[in-house]
């Protein structure tokens, strides 16, 4: 058996982005996978292949290319079905991304089913994409938002018995915080949601890149994710909805392949998933999602988890040695591979800017989670996030670059 | 002494000493042009901006309050302005701080453009042109540009309001 570090090298070699050093010969230290992951060669090749060999619009033509595109799209949908353990391909629609999927769920199902006084339970961790659509739905329906509070470590505090009550209709939470790395207990949330007759919506944009989720075993009713965070193409995402629920979800966008009949005074919709696939699909991207999922499977989710945990632990240990750094969220063993921090005396913007000089690419700001940053009591954090291609050298370069930040900003004098 | 905008007179009086001192320490536009022409690449210019930022006179903590915040920047920015009519002609005094040094460097450029200028001069200044001349426009992220234009807009509004006020007083 190969040692883990050799496997990592094999994996890294599949990403051509790392073949090209920066202008001064610096290696690329890419620590922003949580924002968007780099693409393996197979994904890049597949996108090219579709364009070069058999591109055509989907679900329209009977000619050879059209049929090949349809077949590939369905193969991709099937790969997603397997990843999620969904019962049927009809429960999976291609969307533009997690944001679009969440908007469909909130507006298509939420607006139709919520009554004044009903409650939607969210966590303080949510990305704006799983927050603002619900805020809008609440304004339109008279329902109310209720928030699951956080423990000091940034995990969900479910101790308040009032959280789940007979007015709760929807529980919408992230599968993994894009800032703290927190992993909410989805199975428990599902059980408690179902016990009061509510549905569970999971924003899996961050969690799915780190391991499969079984929607049936976990009891998830709706799920959203994005291809570009799964080592796949941009512009494509997935909306999963349990069959009965998708059937009672209104479409948000109209036209094209989502239509059944159009009369002068009204129209009817195709069955799901077509109902949620208005207009021309991101064909090339949806097809190239399959090699991305195959890549993740080839690495193996257990190996991936072990590797990412090692990097996260190493980052915690190294950053603890640097004065003034505070890391937010749970310990490495209880979170995904995200390390968000502040450094006393240095603004997040300066840190990110100075790290860039050392070829270390991180994100700074509120990461589309303003309510969470209000809870943290800081205007901005710096976020380093790890993917399968990162290694311990990357962690070392992050730590070295942070020491350089202290020196450049004269924090030690 | 007139105060313009959201800075209280008390706050201005307290810091007046620091304010005059600051004005003498700040670079003029010509000095900035010269310095930038001398620095070969963007990274050196950034370094220079960071150094300028680290030397930027500080606002007091009671000036770093919500009403003085400029929104639209990625980092925190506070802007305090007052109309100083102690000289022959009333001029706009501008002081600003960010928690980010690179932003403080950009603020130093803004101060070189606007601080100590008459309201008319403030309205006549073409910040976009100056940023272009310094090649800052090419290198700034759209977020930073938004933040900067937020500050410029605020200063221009204050200058325009001051002109209306001064005209009314004259009548
Ligand atoms: C937790 C979470 N949800 C939703 C999104 C939105 O994903 P997208 O921009 O691909 O629609 C993100 C992306 O940053 C995220 O981290």
Percent of chain A with pLDDT over 90: 94
3-class secondary structure, A109: helix
- Chain B residues whose C-beta is within 8 A of a chain A C-beta are 43, 46, 50, 54, 74-76, 98-103
In a shared domain, residues A116 and A11: no
Q: Does A35 map to a domain? A: no
Torsion angle in degrees (nearest 10) through CA of A28, A31, A37, A40 = 40
Distance CA A127, CA A348 (A): 19
Which of A225, A224, A235, A209 minimizes the C-alpha distance to A293? A209
In a shared domain, residues A348 and A212: no
Q: Is the CB of A177 under 6 A from ligand 1?
A: no
Q: Does A242 map to a domain? A: yes
**Candidate from A229-243, A289-303, B64-78 with smallest mean pLDDT:** B64-78
Q: Which residues of A touch B99 (CB under 8 A)?
A: 347, 379
Q: The tokens 């129209």 sit on which residue?
A: A267
Angle between helices A289-299 and A301-320 (to 10 degrees): 80
Per-chain mean pLDDT for chain A? 96
Whole-Å CA distances, A159 to A145, A206, A216, A330: 18, 25, 26, 18
Q: Which atom of ligand 1 is nearest to the CA of A99?
A: 11
Q: Do A347 and B98 touch (CB under 8 A)?
A: yes
Q: Do B50 and A350 touch (CB under 8 A)?
A: yes
In a shared domain, residues A271 and A223: yes
In the predicted structure, residue A309 carries a pLDDT above the cut 90: yes
Q: Which residues of A touch B101 (CB under 8 A)?
A: 347, 350, 409
Q: What string of DSSP letters covers A180-239? A: T-B---HHHHHHHHHHTT-EEEEE-TTTGGGS---HHHHT-SEEEEEGGGGTS-TT-EEE
In the predicted structure, residue B6 carries a pLDDT above the cut 90: no
Q: Whose C-alpha lies nearest to ligand 1, atom 12? A: A205
Angle between helices A301-320 and A4-12 (to 10 degrees): 100
Distance CA A250, CA A244 (A): 13
Q: Do A350 and B102 touch (CB under 8 A)?
A: yes
**How remote is the CA of residue A81 from the centroid of ligand 1, in Å?**
20
In the predicted structure, residue A112 carries a pLDDT above the cut 50: yes
Final residue of a structural domain among A254, A272, A297 = A297
**How remote is the CA of residue A97 from the centroid of ligand 1, in Å?**
8
Q: Do residues A99 and A253 touch, judged by C-beta distance below 8 A?
A: no
Number of domains chain A is built from: 2
- Binned at pLDDT 50, 70 and 90, residue B70 comes out as confident
Beta bridge partners of A147: A122
* Range A286-303 average pLDDT: 96
Q: Does A38 map to a domain? A: no
Q: Do A348 and B102 touch (CB under 8 A)?
A: no
- Chain A residues whose C-beta is within 8 A of a chain B C-beta are 347-350, 353, 357, 364-365, 379-380, 408-410
Q: Do residues A145 and A132 touch, judged by C-beta distance below 8 A?
A: no
Final residue of a structural domain among A271, A297, A323 = A297
In a shared domain, residues A339 and A386: yes
**How remote is the CA of residue A174 from the centroid of ligand 1, in Å?**
10
Q: Is the CB of A180 under 6 A from ligand 1?
A: no
- Ligand 1 pocket test: which of A32, A186, A222, A226 has the largest number of ligand atoms within 8 Å of its C-beta? A226
β-strands A119-123, A168-174: how paired? Answer: parallel
Distance CA A298, CA A294 (A): 6
Minimal CA separation from A146 to chain B, in Å: 28
Q: Which atom of ligand 1 is nearest to the CA of A35?
A: 14
Q: Name the residue in chain B with its Cα closest to that of A356.
A: B43
Q: Which residues of A touch B75 (CB under 8 A)?
A: 347-350, 379-380
More confident residue, B147 or A395: A395
Residue-number span of the structural domain to which A179 is assigned:
44-297
More confident residue, A27 or B25: A27
Task: Tell me the domain boundaries of chain B.
Answer: 59-170
pLDDT per residue as tens digits for the range A135-149: 999 999 999 999 999
In a shared domain, residues A164 and A237: yes
In a shared domain, residues A247 and A372: no
In a shared domain, residues A284 and A315: no
Q: Is the CB of A98 under 6 A from ligand 1?
A: yes
CATH of the domain at A194: 3.40.640.10
Q: Do B102 and A365 touch (CB under 8 A)?
A: no
Give A56-94 as a 3 state SS string.
CCCCCCCCHHHHHHHHHHHHHHHHHHHHHCCCCHHHEEE
**How remote is the CA of residue A171 from the centroid of ligand 1, in Å?**
18
Q: Is the CB of A340 under 6 A from ligand 1?
A: no
Q: Please identify, in words, the CATH class of the domain defined by B59-170.
A: alpha beta
Beta bridge partners of B2: B83
Exposure of A90 by Cβ count < 10 A (0-12 exposed, 13-18 middle, 19+ buried)?
middle
∠ CA A220-A223-A226, rounded to 5°:
150
Tell me, what's the pLDDT at A72?
Answer: 97
In the predicted structure, residue A207 carries a pLDDT above the cut 70: yes
Q: Which atom of ligand 1 is nearest to the CA of A237?
A: 10
In a shared domain, residues A20 and A84: no
Identify whether A368 is a catalytic site residue.
yes
Strand order in the sheet with A199-203: A92-95, A237-241, A222-226, A199-203, A168-174, A119-123, A144-148
Number of H helices, E strands in chain B: 8, 2
Q: Does A270 map to a domain? A: yes
HSE-up (13 A, CA, CB side) for residue A378: 23
Of A349, A408, A409, the CB nearest to B74: A349
Q: Which atom of ligand 1 is nearest to the CA of A129?
A: 4
Angle between helices B42-55 and A348-357 (to 10 degrees): 150
CATH of the domain at A397: 3.90.1150.10
**Candidate from A94-103, A162-171, B44-53 with smallest mean pLDDT:** B44-53
Tell me, what's the pLDDT at B11?
Answer: 34
In a shared domain, residues A83 and A149: yes
In a shared domain, residues A320 and A269: no
Minimal CA separation from A151 to chain B, in Å: 27
Give A15-34 as a 3 state SS string.
CHHHHCCCCCCCCCEECECC
In the predicted structure, residue B21 carries a pLDDT above the cut 50: no
Final residue of a structural domain among A242, A269, A297 = A297
Tell me, what's the pLDDT at B54?
Answer: 94
Q: Do B74 and A357 touch (CB under 8 A)?
A: no
Q: Whose C-alpha lies nearest to ligand 1, atom 9? A: A99
In a shared domain, residues A280 and A323: no
Q: Do residues A324 and A344 touch, judged by C-beta distance below 8 A?
A: yes
**Candidate from A160-174, B29-43, B97-111 with smallest mean pLDDT:** B29-43
Which of A218, A121, A128, A99 minimizes the C-alpha distance to A173? A121
Q: Do residues A369 and A179 touch, judged by C-beta distance below 8 A?
A: yes
- Ligand 1 pocket test: which of A32, A35, A98, A202 has the largest number of ligand atoms within 8 Å of its C-beta? A98
Q: Do B74 and A409 touch (CB under 8 A)?
A: no
């Amino acid at each position: 058996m190969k040692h883990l570090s050799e496997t990592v090298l094999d994996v890294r070699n599949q990403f051509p982005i790392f073949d090209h050093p920066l202008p001064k010969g610096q290696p690329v230290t890419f620590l922003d996978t949580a924002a968007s992951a780099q693409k393996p060669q197979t994904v890049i090749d597949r996108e090219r292949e579709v364009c070069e060999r058999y591109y055509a619009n989907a679900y329209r033509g009977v000619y050879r290319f059209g049929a090949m595109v349809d077949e590939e799209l369905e193969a991709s949908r099937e790969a997603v079905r397997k990843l999620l353990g969904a019962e049927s391909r009809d429960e999976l629609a291609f969307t533009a991304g997690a944001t679009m999927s969440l908007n469909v769920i909130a507006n298509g199902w939420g607006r139709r089913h919520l009554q004044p006084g009903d409650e939607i339970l969210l966590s303080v961790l949510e990305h704006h994409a799983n927050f603002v659509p619900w805020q809008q739905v609440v304004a339109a329906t008279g329902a109310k938002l209720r928030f699951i509070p956080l423990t000091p470590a940034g995990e969900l505090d479910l101790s308040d018995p009032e959280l789940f009550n007979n007015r709760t209709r929807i529980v919408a939470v992230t599968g993994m915080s894009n800032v703290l790395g927190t992993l909410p207990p989805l199975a428990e949330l599902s059980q408690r949601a179902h016990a009061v007759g509510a549905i569970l919506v999971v924003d899996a944009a961050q969690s799915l890149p780190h391991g499969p989720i079984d929607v049936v075993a976990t009891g998830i009713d709706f799920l959203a994710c994005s291809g570009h965070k799964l080592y796949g193409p941009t512009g494509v995402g997935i909306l999963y909805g349990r069959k009965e629920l998708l059937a009672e979800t209104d479409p948000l966008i109209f036209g094209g392949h989502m239509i059944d009949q159009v009369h002068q005074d009204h129209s009817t919709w195709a069955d799901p998933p077509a109902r949620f696939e208005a207009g021309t699909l991101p064909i090339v991207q949806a097809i190239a999602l399959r090699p991305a999922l195959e890549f993740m499977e080839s690495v193996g989710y257990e190996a991936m988890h072990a590797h990412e945990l090692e990097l996260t632990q190493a980052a915690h240990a190294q950053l603890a040695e640097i004065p003034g750094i505070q890391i937010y969220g749970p310990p490495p063993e209880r979170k995904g591979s995200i390390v968000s921090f502040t450094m006393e005396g240095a603004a997040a913007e300066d840190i990110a800017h100075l790290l860039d000089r050392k070829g270390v690419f991180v994100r700074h700001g509120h990461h589309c989670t303003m309510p969470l940053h209000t809870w943290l009591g800081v205007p901005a954090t710096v976020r380093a996030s790890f993917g399968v291609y990162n290694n311990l050298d990357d962690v070392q370069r992050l730590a070295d670059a942070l020491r350089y930040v202290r020196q450049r900003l004269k924090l030690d004098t | 002494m007139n105060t313009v905008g959201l800075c209280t007179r008390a706050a201005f009086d307290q810091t007046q000493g620091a304010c005059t001192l600051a004005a003498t320490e700040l670079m003029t536009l010509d000095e900035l042009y010269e310095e930038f022409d001398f620095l070969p690449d963007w990274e050196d210019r950034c370094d220079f901006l960071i150094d300028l930022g680290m030397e930027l006179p500080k606002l007091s903590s009671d000036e770093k309050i919500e009403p003085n915040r400029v929104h639209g920047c990625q980092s925190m920015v506070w802007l305090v302005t007052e109309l100083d009519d102690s000289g022959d002609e009333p001029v706009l005094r501008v002081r600003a701080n960010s928690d980010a040094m690179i932003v403080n460097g950009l603020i130093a450029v803004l101060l070189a453009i606007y601080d100590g200028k008459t309201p008319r001069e403030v309205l006549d200044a073409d910040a976009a042109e100056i940023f272009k001349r310094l090649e800052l426009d090419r290198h700034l992220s759209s977020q930073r540009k938004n933040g900067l234009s937020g500050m410029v807009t605020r200063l221009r509004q204050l200058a325009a309001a001051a002109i209306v006020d001064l005209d009314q007083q004259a009548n």
